[in-house]
Structure 1
Amino acid sequence: MAQQNLASQYDQLKRAFDARPSDLKKCGSLLSQLKIRLIEAGLLLPQGQPNLQDLVVARDILEMGAIWSIRTRDIPSFERHFAQLSTFYTDYSSQLPPSSRASSILGLNLIRLLTQNRIADFHTTLEALPLPPAARASDPFISHPVNFERWLMEGSYSKVWNAREEAPAEEYRFFVDSLMGTIRNEIASCEEAAYDRLPLKDAATLLFFNTPSELLTFAKERGWQVDLSGGVIHFNGKNEEQAEVMPRHKLIAASLKYARELEMIV
């Protein structure tokens, strides 16, 4: 390695990361120090023809940093690590040996884009992957987010929920849970528009909640009225308020349009 301290801290990071469970606090401290070492060694954003073994170690450090970011629920940190890894995955891909973590991290980035509703970026990133279409379909880390995107476009939310247990890596569940939060709010908006009330059991099923307490917490956040004795959730309180305001605006707009049309005729 270019520096002895970097090699020593790299070994410490591997031990902390590979521990079961990982020592996340120690990993975070070591990653901060190692990034400084990488900058000093010219390896964080490598240029020219650096030593290939040094590049492998730098890539490994950044990959552990990306996964550590997900385990600590730090999405901005994951985005930074992924941006730094892009050089290794593109510019030096033909020179470096394959990485066992690359597919997982590429897939995590794809599902991150889905949770942020960046569908166009998802497809652009997917097409730019250094993998042929056949390899993408057979790689579980890539096919998982691809299936998610298709199910979301179809509105097959139950498939998204069921696939949570089939995640190819534990880190994927964090993004799936985040995605389910978005899906629940979409379903809740449809329920409010379509129903005055629903039985608690039916609402829990539609929203993919496993326990009544989860549903009650969600109902409180949405401002729903819960009748525990009757086992019913009422949406009409919110809808009635909207019903009082919205038609009035629509009526005024329609009247003005009608008046303008009459004036043109006259």
Structure 2
Amino acid sequence: MTGVHSRVDDDGVAVVTLDRPQARNALDWAAWESLGEQLAGLDRDDVRAVVLTGGDRWFSAGGDVTSMGSNPGSGVTAPAARVRLAHRVVRALTTCRAPVIAAVEGFAVGAAWGLVLSCDLVVASREAFFAAPFAQRALVADAGLAWSLSRHVGHQRAAELLLLGERLPADRAHELGLVTRLVAPGEAGESALALARRLAAGPADAIALTTSLLRRAPDRTLDGFLDDEHVAVALNGHSPDLAEGRQAFLEKRPPRFR
């Protein structure tokens, strides 16, 4: 058992579930490896939206601290062998053709928070919280969390969250722009699925290209971004969905995208 399973529905929505309830979905070596492989396998045309969830009780307690001493690897970088797996997952989330939605119940702690912030949209229970208690455990923040937090909330707030490790309630995370939508407890999964189905029914090419532009924008100069935008608009001009969108607008009817 790897503690991760996935499925793809007929409507093109993929659901990836962290499932190690005995460890509050903490990710050990096998789970990290499986998560990376499954996410990479979903980067294909028939998958139009992805939901990443930990189920109805919690998202994840982060990396499995109890198994960290058993990392395979050798040499000076051996203690960071597991981080390579986490990085593979982060890259899979941030390069997936389809938009990725995190559904958070309970909590997302440590590296799991890094995974959440690697998603395009985040739906969280109002009672959920986030935390990064790395320093309190004599650990260095991983899963790209220092990069993600600095990018979203700036150096000062990121430093506070990472160095002090205090809990950040979901409502405050929403105020800071770290959560897209707040929902009642127990409804994060269904709400994320509803968003995913809405995206899956839309124009796949335009959504994929827009998602790519959004992910790349913060690291581009304006000139560089405008070049990317020019290419994206040109590519989308070849999409059958564009013609359908125009025709539906002219005929004043809902579009029927492929």
TM-score between both structures, scaled by the size of structure 1: 0.30
Structure number having the greater strand percentage: 2
Greater RCO, CA 8 A, separation 6+: 2
TM-score between both structures, scaled by the size of structure 2: 0.31
